[in-house]
């Protein structure tokens, strides 16, 4: 029997398992992408905070921060905003990781059955 005919004559149970496996893979990848995107955003904000807190003087004889036109009010506001974003992103990441564990934690990729 050819592959096409074999696939067309699958019993409902086998076809349902194949579809469920495909949907599971797609959903798992989507949740993994959410986790990875949040990790990337956290890394970007951490670099932003690192840049905001780099007070290296612009010369060896100056105590002025290395950024020309440094404004303490803007600096404080930007730092507060970045730290708040970092906090919120970390909360979102924990939720995303718990969601992944809840829905896909017991998955064993070797058990995924795809129609042959």
Task: Give the Cα separation of 78 and 82 in Å (integer).
Answer: 6
Whole-structure pTM value: 0.76
Q: Whose CA is closest to 96, among 44, 46, 20, 28?
A: 28
Mean pLDDT by 10 residues, the chain (116 residues): 70 80 94 98 97 76 68 94 98 98 80 45
């Amino acid at each position: 029997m050819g592959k096409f005919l074999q696939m067309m004559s699958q019993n409902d149970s086998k076809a349902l398992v194949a579809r469920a496996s495909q949907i599971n893979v797609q959903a798992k990848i989507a949740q993994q992408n959410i986790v990875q995107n949040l990790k990337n955003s956290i890394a970007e904000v951490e670099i932003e905070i690192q840049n905001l807190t780099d007070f290296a003087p612009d010369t060896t004889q100056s105590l002025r921060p290395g950024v020309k036109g440094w404004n303490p009010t803007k600096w404080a506001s930007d730092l507060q905003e970045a730290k708040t974003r970092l906090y919120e992103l970390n909360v979102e990441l924990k939720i995303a990781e718990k969601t992944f564990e809840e829905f896909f934690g017991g998955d064993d990729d070797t058990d995924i059955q795809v129609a042959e």
